[in-house]
Chain A
Amino acid sequence: MAGQTLYDKLWESHVVREDESGSTLIYIDRQLVHEVTSPQAFEGMRLSGRKAWRSGASLGVPDHNVPTIDRDKGIVDPVAKKQVDTLEQNCKDFGITEFLMGDPRQGIVHVIGPEQGITVPGITLVCGDSHTSTHGAFAALAFGIGTSEVEHVLSTQCLVQKKSKNLQVRVDGALKPGVEAKDVALAIIGVIGTAGGTGYSIEFAGSAIESLSMEGRMSLCNLAIEAGARTGLVAVDDTTLEYVKNRPYGPTAEQWSQAESVWKTLHSDDDAVFDKVITLAAEGIEPQVTWGTSPEMVVPISGRVPNPADEADAVKSSGMARALEYMGLAANTPMTDIPVDVVFIGSCTNSRIEDMRAAATVAKGRKVSDKIKYAMVVPGSGLVKAQAEEEGLDKILIEAGFQWRDPGCSMCLAMNADKLLSQERCASTSNRNFEGRQGNGGRTHLVSPSIAAASAIAGVFATPESL
């Protein structure tokens, strides 16, 4: 019998029961709950008179709607406030721990889960948010679900699922200096497309992946969903174990050796068979910038805006033309000639301490261009913010002209006050460049933190080396 993939192992260790049709009831170890996708789930439970199956398995936190400035004034938008208040009431009523807005541990679900040790290897973890794939960086089977499934997990601690196929994406070799995990992820999406991973669980492997920090692996797995895969995984190694140690919700000192022995098995077997394997050479990856309205519309920063006329597929070509019109771009324009209005450094993709350091390294001793309307840095959690301040990163960034905000999802999806105006062009470290994503009519270009910071300084898309 062939060996198992990491995904197979995680799946098998959580099967409660299987039926003849291939539908499987799997056990969910932990759930993260935020204000936007949970109110209707709790309401459903009230209507059916159901309690939480295991309230300690869930943690609540507001992140999507919260303001990133003037927190002492509370939430001004009454609709957003009601949603955040509803989460608080629901967590209270159903016995779920919540980190409130004023709690130093508050932050984006996908930042605080790992930070608190809620995310550990070998578990199943869900959240009503597609970027739950982030947690796969820890070899945890983690995926985004809809609100009905949030209710299902709260009520039963299980989900009915169908097993995905296995896709391995290998990146071997050494990444060039200045190339970050974000660039690797965007380059992969550029190759396989936004539906390339649909129906698959992706395992990222190869020496370039192994060389990434946990922060880098989280950025990479975060973007698995932008390649269509609900789950992105990286095997456990010493980097993983080192990160997980001594986290508040992780194993106790007495449990550590048992945990470690379980976790060390969390890799694909040498003879495991994948349904599909895709290989990229690390040396061939350059810093990336998206030019259109889908993450697969991406080119190296040294490249140009593509020409729809060069695309043979008619549906694709008209999609490209529509994207260029929305983005206000002409075909063949060099990416480094495109002026930027706004810079956003944050989101569950890039708001961890390493991202803050990358931005500060570029900003140090420089000034944000006067062509930039504003450049904001939004740390992913209160603890990331505190750590960055301890390292003096906030001072460097503020000195350079960046705004230093409070933690939340912020302009990644613009549910709070942080949003683009129509036709404003943003260099953003977030994960989606869809039409209107960062504000109605706004134009988003996805980039790494270093490229975002360098573009803030240059006023056009730029690499740190070019400054």
Chain B
Amino acid sequence: MDAFTTLNGVVAPLDRSNVDTDAIIPKQFLKSIKRSGFGPNAFDEWRYLDTGEPDVDCSGRPLNPEFVLNQPRYQGASVLLTRKNFGCGSSREHAPWALLDYGFRCVISPSFADIFYNNCFKNGILPIIQPEAAVDRLFEQTFEAEGYALKIDLLKQSIILPDGESLSFEIDAFRKDALLKGLDEVGLTLQYASDIKAFEDKHRTAMPWVFSE
């Protein structure tokens, strides 16, 4: 996983609440056995006018001009600004894979669904929770100024606006550390292999039926 330290990125405004993971990456693309290549199909049903199928080159497909990410001013955006309960629904990690592959490294929202929020951290995407009022203001500013960009500093836990003002955000210490260093979480856990074995021994006595294999 790529580490996340700072990001200076153009903001794309997705002005909807309850954006679900089916919308972020529709089911027909989940048949892939790879982790990459989902970017061209991110938000497929909103983004294109035709129906997307796996393994089809998207470069010639008709774009939906109404969909915000298709507007020229938001091309190259790496910060996604959106409304509450982003990433609800299915646990598919294909959703953060698609966002990452599209180019997003940071999502700002008043709230996230739990599984999606967790999945972001496993893939070097920083999900930032901000109060509704702050998100409203970011939306206004993004719509107003073409090329509107934010600077995100994970170490300092701050979002720096173009006028120099900064907004702080909360993040759990373990997740912050893992993201800053791009750590392999499985490797981290395996450092505690002896604790796991000791737990298993105790657990086997308490609940032997769990170990019936």
Contact = CB atoms under 8 A, between A and B. Distances in A.
Contacts of B55: 79
A22 B172 contact: yes
Interface of A is mostly: loop
A195 B85 contact: yes
Contacts of A435: 22-23, 45
A155 interface: yes
A146 B89 CA distance: 12
Interface stretch (B57-65, B140-148, B156-164, B191-199): B191-199
Contacts, number: 202
Nearest to A413: B27
A362 interface: no
B135 to A, nearest CB: 11
Contacts of B211: 56
Given A37-B93, A158-B189, A415-B30, A21 B209 contact: no
Interface string A17-30: 10101110101011
Given A122-B207, A155-B190, A160-B185, A130 B89 contact: yes
Contact of A319 (B18, B203, B207): B18
A397 B59 CA distance: 47
A160 B175 CA distance: 10
Which of A13, A19, A57, A156 has the most C-beta atoms of chain B within 10 angstroms of its own C-beta?
Answer: A156
Interface of B: 16-18, 20, 22-23, 26-28, 30-35, 45, 51, 54-55, 83-85, 88-93, 96, 111-115, 118-119, 122-123, 172-174, 184-190, 192-193, 195-196, 199-200, 203, 206-213
A436 to B, nearest CB: 5
B115 A146 contact: yes
A22, A123, A149, A199: which has the most chain B beta carbons within 10 Å? Answer: A149
Contacts of B188: 160
A151 interface: yes
B174 A21 contact: yes
B31 A65 contact: yes
A199 B209 CA distance: 31
Top 4 A-B pairs, shortest CB-CB distance: A56-B213, A148-B122, A146-B93, A39-B33
